[in-house]
Amino acid sequence: MDLTTEVCAEASHTRERLSIDRLMRTEIAFEESSGQSSPLKSLYLAWLSNPKADPDTQIIERPYLHSRARESLSIPWIDVSDEWPLDYVLHDHNGITFGDHSGQRVAEYPVWTHARWCAIEYEQCKNEEVPVAHYIDQTIRGVYREYLRLLVPVLGEPTGVQKIFYSYRVLTPPQAAP
């Protein structure tokens, strides 16, 4: 779908917006080849069963593939009630590379270009009121990582989407950039 590439002093990103159909085909193939459950598929199916409910309040399988997320039973989410996307607030955010940013605004993320792209993607999910999936290939401050991420909006509020839950699956663990 949409493909964006950006290179700057601190980071380089390739971000591709994926259709939900493509993401689900990828995650089914992952489950079949690895014998593991997909956190992205689990979150999407929970959302699909009731898009007006917080996934945290539903009994769903929470299979995470990295140790930090296993420490928490909460599903990471973003408070998107503010009008300005850089002021959206991260909750239960167990970062893959740069640690916990829970309770921080998107603008406080230590790498501006990553914060800006996340804000754009969060705003897309909020405004479109549909799940949004991305393939992300990036190097930030000399650390390379590659992952899939799914954002799902909680629908049904009279004032529009106020929360977005998300999950990701690491394709290439963080490592020194080549």
pLDDT band at 16 (very low <50, low <70, confident <90, very high): very high
- Burial status of residue 55 (CB atoms within 10 A of its CB: 0-12, 13-18, 19 or more): buried
Residues 132, 121 contacting (CB under 8 angstroms): yes
Q: State mean pLDDT over 140-150.
A: 89
Residue 102 clears pLDDT 70, i.e. is over it = yes
Is 49 a residue whose pLDDT tops 60? Answer: yes
Does 71 score more than 50 pLDDT? no
Q: Taking the CA of residue 91 as centre, how many other CA atoms within 13 Å lie in the half-sphere pointing to its CB?
A: 14
pLDDT of residue 139: 87
CATH topology of domain 3-176: Beta-Lactamase (3.30.450)
Domain ranges of the chain: 3-176
The pLDDT value given to residue 8: 67
Predicted pLDDT at 72: 42
Helices (H), 50-155: 67-70, 112-128
In the prediction, which pLDDT does 55 show?
65
Percent of the chain with pLDDT over 90: 43
- The yes-or-no verdict on residue 60 having pLDDT over 80 is no
**Per-chain mean pLDDT for the chain:** 83
Q: Which of 52-56, 72-76, 134-138, 174-178 is least confident?
A: 72-76
Rounded-to-integer distance, Cα 77 and Cα 74, Å:
9
97 or 44, greater pLDDT: 44
Least confident of 15-19, 68-72, 145-149: 68-72
pLDDT at residue 93, rounded to an integer:
77
Residue 70's pLDDT band (boundaries 50, 70, 90)?
Answer: very low
